């Protein structure tokens, strides 16, 4: 009689994994903008920066391209570090809940 319970738990785990993956895809398709002091940043739901626009009036126009690249690179590095830390925390939380391995590396 234990077998049906194990199969039910496996089914529930697969459903949960499917829901998490769908939620991740949904988040990745969303964007949000933040604008301040002539700088507009667009971020995707997966925490990557998709665009940075700087009003030429707030900086020296001859250095605008370099400034945009530097801001984009530094922002993405900071976001990646934040995302990696969040993933590590989720991994730790999953392990504490006894769910490590259940989610297949999510």
Taking only the tens place, the pLDDT of each residue in 7-22 is 888 888 888 788 777 7
Confidence of residue 99 (pLDDT cuts 50, 70, 90): low
What is the model's pTM? 0.52
pLDDT of 77 above 80:
yes
Say what the pLDDT of residue 98 is: 63
Q: Rounded to a whole number, what is the distance in angstroms from the first to the last CA of the chain?
A: 31
**Domains identified in the chain and CATH numbers:** 30-94 (3.30.1310)
Residue 77, CA distances (Å) to 48, 82, 97, 99 in order: 9, 9, 30, 29
């Amino acid at each position: 009689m234990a077998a049906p319970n194990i199969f039910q738990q496996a089914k529930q785990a697969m459903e949960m994994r499917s829901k998490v993956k769908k939620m991740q895809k949904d988040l990745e398709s969303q964007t949000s903008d933040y604008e301040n002091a002539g700088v507009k940043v667009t971020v995707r739901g997966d925490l990557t920066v998709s665009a940075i626009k700087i009003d030429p009036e707030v900086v020296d126009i001859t250095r605008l391209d370099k400034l945009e690249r530097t801001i984009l690179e530094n922002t993405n590095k900071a976001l990646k570090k934040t995302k990696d830390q969040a993933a590590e925390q989720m991994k730790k939380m999953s392990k504490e809940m006894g769910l490590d391995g259940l989610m297949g590396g999510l």
